[in-house]
C-alpha cells in the first residue's frame, strides 16, 4: 500500500511515522496544510519518493498490510467555528484538492455538485448508496456555517435524482435541482452563477459571495467524520473503458490502480493507456502502480483503438480554445507562457482560475497538450509565489 503525503493542493505533508512503525486504520501519518491518515493496518516499510497520479514522484508512506484494529477516533461535534478545523483534522478535500472551506466568512447558500462528468459516475453511486448520510452531512454543514438554504445539483437522467428528492422531502431549505447533462457542469463559478444567481469576480471565490460549493464525496466524508470519527481514507471510484467488469468501487486510499483494475476483472484487450479522472480532463499515467488518492474519481483503461495518435502541430491562433473556456481564460496564451516558463505572465492571466476541464485541448485543431502544460504552469506559479513569500520573510 502506497499512501502519498500529497493528496491536496499545497505542499507535501511532513511524515509522522518512521520505517518499522506499526500503524492502524485511521492513524494520522502525515501533517501539514492538510492531513493524511492510514487506510490500512500494517508496518511502515519505506518512506520514499513513489509514483503519483500527478505524473511526478511524491514522498509516500509504504505500508505492508496486515490485519489490525482501527485507530480509536472520537466523532467530532460540529458547530460554528469548528468546521474548518474538522475538515483539516480529518483530511477532507474536494475533487480539486482544495479544502471544502478555506475562509471563515458568512455563508448564506451551499451548493452541492452532484453532477457526473462524461464517463465518471461516482457521484451518482454515492447518492444511490448513501442518500441519508449525504443529507445529514449537508444539514450539519449548513448548521455549522449558518447557511439558510442548500442546493444539490443533479443531472436530469441520473438515477440518483428521484432518490435524493425523496430523501429531502422533509427539508424545505434543501432544494434538489435537475439540470441537463452538459460538460463541464461542475465548475464552481458556473454553479454559483446559474443556481445562486451570483457572479464571482475574477480573483475572488464563491465564499466571498456568501456561497460555499462542495462535492458529494466531501459531504459524505464530513458525515463520516462527525458521526463515526472516520477520516477520509476511502474513495468511490469509477472504473471504465476496457475492463471486464466496469463500475463504481469503494477503494482504500493508497491502493494501486493495477489492483483496482484486477478487482474489476482485469483488462479486456491489451491496455495501452490508463487515464485518471476522465477522458477529457484526466491525466494519462506512466505506471499502473500509481495509487488511488483523495482526488481520484475515475480510472479509464484504453486500448489502441480508443486512442487518436495525431501528432501535435504549432498553434494557429484560431482561438477555439478561448471560445470554449468556461472560465473566460485565454488557454493559447497560457500554453505559450507556461511552455516557455514565463510564470509571471501566467499569473497575470489568472492561470490559477483554470479548472482543467480539458475543453481547450478537446477542440484544439493542432492537438496541443494544453491541459498538461497549463498544469505545469500552475505548479510554476505556485513555486514562484512561494519563493517570493520566503524572500519577503
Binding residues for [4Fe-4S] cluster: 315, 318, 321, 325, 354, 357, 360, 364
206 forms beta bridges with none
Write the DSSP symbol of residue 312. Answer: P
| Residue 147 C-beta-side C-alpha neighbours within 13 Å | 26
**Closest residue by Cα to residue 42 from 15, 70, 16:** 70
Annotated binding-site positions: 315, 318, 321, 325, 354, 357, 360, 364
Write the DSSP symbol of residue 77. Answer: P
Contact between 360 and 321 (Cβ < 8 Å): yes
Contact between 246 and 240 (Cβ < 8 Å): yes
Q: CA 194, CA 178: separation in Å to the nearest integer? A: 12
**Cell numbers at 107, concatenated:** 455563508
Instruction: Please return the burial class of 229, using the count of CB atoms within 10 Å of its CB with bins 0-12, 13-18 and 19+.
Output: middle
Q: How is the beta sheet containing 283-284 ordered, strand by strand? A: 247-252, 234-241, 298-302, 273-276, 283-284
Q: CA 291, CA 303: separation in Å to the nearest integer? A: 21
Instruction: Please return the burial class of 328, using the count of CB atoms within 10 Å of its CB with bins 0-12, 13-18 and 19+.
Output: exposed
> Checking phi first, is residue 277 left (phi over 0); if not, alpha (psi -120 to 50) or beta?
left
Q: Within 10 A of 347 (CB to CB), how many other CB atoms are there?
A: 18
**Cell numbers at 158, concatenated:** 441520473
**Cell numbers at 126, concatenated:** 454515492
Amino acid at each position: 500500500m502506497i499512501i502519498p503525503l500529497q493528496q491536496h493542493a499545497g505542499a507535501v505533508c511532513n511524515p509522522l511515522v518512521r520505517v518499522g512503525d506499526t500503524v492502524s486504520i485511521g492513524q494520522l501519518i502525515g501533517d501539514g496544510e492538510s492531513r493524511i491518515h492510514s487506510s490500512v493496518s500494517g508496518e511502515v516499510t519505506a518512506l520514499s519518493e513513489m509514483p503519483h497520479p500527478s505524473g511526478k514522484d511524491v514522498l509516500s508512506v509504504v505500508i505492508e498490510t496486515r490485519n489490525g484494529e482501527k485507530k480509536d477516533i472520537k466523532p467530532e461535534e460540529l458547530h460554528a467555528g469548528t468546521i474548518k478545523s474538522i475538515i483539516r483534522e480529518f483530511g477532507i478535500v474536494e475533487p480539486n484538492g482544495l479544502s471544502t472551506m478555506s475562509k471563515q466568512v458568512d455563508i448564506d447558500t451551499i451548493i452541492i455538485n452532484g453532477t457526473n462528468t462524461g464517463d465518471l459516475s461516482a457521484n451518482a453511486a454515492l447518492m444511490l448508496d448513501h442518500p441519508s448520510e449525504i443529507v445529514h452531512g449537508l444539514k450539519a454543514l449548513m448548521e455549522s456555517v449558518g447557511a439558510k438554504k442548500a442546493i444539490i445539483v443533479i443531472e436530469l437522467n441520473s438515477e440518483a435524482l428521484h432518490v435524493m428528492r425523496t430523501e429531502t422531502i422533509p427539508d424545505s431549505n434543501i432544494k434538489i435541482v435537475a439540470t441537463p447533462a452538459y460538460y463541464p457542469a461542475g465548475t464552481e463559478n458556473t454553479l454559483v452563477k446559474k443556481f445562486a444567481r451570483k457572479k464571482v469576480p475574477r480573483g475572488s471565490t464563491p465564499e466571498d459571495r456568501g456561497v460555499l460549493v462542495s462535492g458529494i464525496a466531501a459531504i459524505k466524508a464530513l458525515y463520516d467524520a462527525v458521526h463515526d470519527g472516520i477520516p477520509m481514507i476511502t474513495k468511490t471510484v469509477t472504473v471504465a473503458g476496457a475492463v471486464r467488469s466496469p463500475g463504481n468501487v469503494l477503494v482504500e486510499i493508497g491502493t494501486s490502480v493495477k489492483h483496482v483494475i484486477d478487482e474489476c476483472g482485469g483488462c479486456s484487450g491489451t491496455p495501452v493507456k490508463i487515464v485518471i479522472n476522465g477522458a477529457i480532463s484526466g491525466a494519462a499515467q506512466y505506471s499502473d502502480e500509481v495509487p488511488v488518492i483523495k482526488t481520484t474519481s475515475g480510472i479509464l483503461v484504453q486500448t489502441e483503438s480508443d486512442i487518436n495518435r495525431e501528432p501535435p502541430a504549432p498553434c494557429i491562433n484560431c482561438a477555439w480554445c478561448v471560445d470554449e473556456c468556461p472560465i473566460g481564460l485565454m488557454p493559447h496564451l497560457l500554453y505559450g507562457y507556461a511552455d516557455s516558463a514565463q510564470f509571471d505572465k501566467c499569473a497575470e492571466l489568472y492561470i490559477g482560475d483554470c479548472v482543467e476541464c480539458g475543453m481547450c485541448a478537446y477542440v484544439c485543431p493542432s492537438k496541443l497538450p494544453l491541459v498538461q502544460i497549463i498544469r505545469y504552469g500552475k505548479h510554476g506559479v505556485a513555486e514562484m509565489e512561494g519563493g517570493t513569500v520566503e524572500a519577503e520573510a
